[in-house]
Structure 1
Amino acid sequence: MTLYHAPALTYGRPDLFVDLFSVPATITQHQLENQATTVLAWLIDRSPVLGQAITRMFAGDLVRSRIAVGARTQVSLPKPGGGALHPDLSICGADPAFQILVEVKIDSEFHAYPEFGDRLQPDVYRHLWESPTVGDAEIRLVGTLTRTGSRGSVDQATLTARDVSWSELRDVIDSLHDAVEPDIALVASAFVDVIDNRIAPKAIPPADHAAFFALHKSALDRVATSLGYQFGAGGPVKQIAGAAYFGRRIRIDDAGGQPLYLRCYLTPAGTRLNLPGAPDSLVVAPERDPNGTLEDAAAAAFAAAGFTRTKDIAGYWLHRRLWPLDRLDPQRAAEEAAEGLRAGGLLVDRDAASADPS
């Protein structure tokens, strides 16, 4: 069975709204990745301008210009002994001149397959596809689309396409705004906005960090002061600051009399202590020590209360909750944070903690 799909075929062509409404929301499905892949496939398939430009991002000069291009999602790559793997995106040229399989990632990691020696998805795709079958394209490549991309080059001999970053893709689509077909332009422009706001926000320059923190410092102080007052800060509130973050660290005694700290900080989009793809944010994170430690019971309680354990861009794990700064209401954020901290069962209000048990 060949993976190749001719661009001229109507069967299986991307249908933007039908496909978007077919994307499931499940624990195992990364919905934003699937939605973004759906839109990207539609743009490549329906716009010759974008189709050829995006193809060249992955394949470079191996692909001749002005060739018809088509795209599909979730094609089936058979495995020996039965079953199949499903690369996120397939880009094909007419004749059949080429086919590029692209694994798309936003928040998830590449899956490792124990049955293939723990190799990651792109390498397994190359392994399964290395021997051509009747009907396969002349040029077959496997690449990735991720937040980071890579500096690697195209190598037809090893079926290696470029690893493209979302920011690169965004810039190419945006640069072709005036050339894109009129019936495609609105979706292309909206997709650029989605990349900017949901997938790969552009970080403000380091030189502007001080002004950024000064602009939002009063909101930070209102939230930190409110939380410290409600839960009875057990000492002076400390200022914390570093590369691309600024905040307060509040010591509070939990319901068992043990010290717990609330880390409240500001973090611009795309910087070390923000989450990948998150906007400029105010963050509240409970912890036992400066390393973000929480014992298992506390970790489970706070995660259930909305302070999920997440890894930031620097690779640092915290149980945290984010509030986007562009629509931040400090009073509401403080109330929501306090509600979640109470729900975790480890913190009690100042009045309750000081009440006479008799």
Structure 2
Amino acid sequence: MNTFRIKTLLFTISFCFIITKTKTYSAVLNPNLSINECIDSLIIETKAILIKFETSRNTIANKLKYVNRIFLNSSDTQEKVALLIEKDILKDSLKYLDSNQETEISKIRYIKGLQILKILYEKNLALDHHFTSMNSLSEINNMANPNHYPEFAKTKNLLTESREGRRGFLLSDLMNDNLYTSVIHTFISLFNNEKIKGIKKKEELEKIECILDFTFRMNNDLDIIYFESIFLKRNNEEMTLDLEKLFKEYTAPIGYKTSLSDCRKNDDWATIVDNLNVYVNNIEMLTKENIYNSKVNIMQIDIKFPVDRLLQFINRYNIFISQSTKFYEKFGIMLNSYENEDRCAKSIPSEYLRLQENISETIEKFNTAYKPIEINGSKLKQALYGISEYD
């Protein structure tokens, strides 16, 4: 192999390696990107990577074709040996490019996956805050029990104070707070109390009739809303724990050991990106030392696996939001089903009206702030885990 061809070969390979060197990403995650914007950005950057490597690959492939033609036409044994060596170098160069391309695409997918994971965690925390505020409204329970209404309590006290001697009976605290025993006892006491005149009894009954009508009609619905809200909250808590576990698996290959909650609390996302840059640099170094090093393949697989798990979680999140929306739409129908709302407007507690507003606002949030990731499933998989779309 003459000196000129050696220099040309080395220049071609060196040039290709320089322009395909893996990009070192800034240790800052854009906090303003939506999940869809992350996916769109990933697709654009992946296409750019493929174009860049394809250019280098074509340069070396054309050189390889040229060497093959010379080899076929050559009759000089020494030249053929040199050409075989040159072909091996070019083939290794192509393999090196393939490895670097895979590493760089895996890296950008990892970065975008990390951004998506961060966004999902924020959404889950916001949902947890919402469910907590919903369930902390002990008014949901209180609304369903007439014992928590001042007018009903006054009527009960009146009957207790006007009890004739030892006639009648008093309920224990436990039974007195029970919806059914308390109401039954109140009615028995009201109609059996001879100290209270009929007109007064009618007046007292009119004061509490809307309270009793509302609590008896809405008791079951309010209980359903309360307990199903708790159910949704616990499901969301499980998702948050699973997301924290996924984060641990996601960052384990690059040697990051801080928990997701601590990472968020300390805004330590930059450290993860730094660790990733070091990890990828190690892959490149091992590849340069030995293109056939099996450890390179293992390291590349290790950072692909968590991305696959992330896809599964995104699907789970979408299902949860869709189900939660249906739950709250049902809650809205329940709360709007009270037949005597106009007639008993003055007796309906303000908490009930506030709960109606909260349900409507929540449905709106499920369709906006918490909405599922509206992106074609195959597109998402190709963007995060495959390149067939760009072949």
Same fold (TM over 0.5): no
Greater helix proportion: 2
TM-score range with shorter-chain normalisation?
under 0.3
TM-score norm. by structure 1 comes to: 0.26
TM-score norm. by structure 2 comes to: 0.24
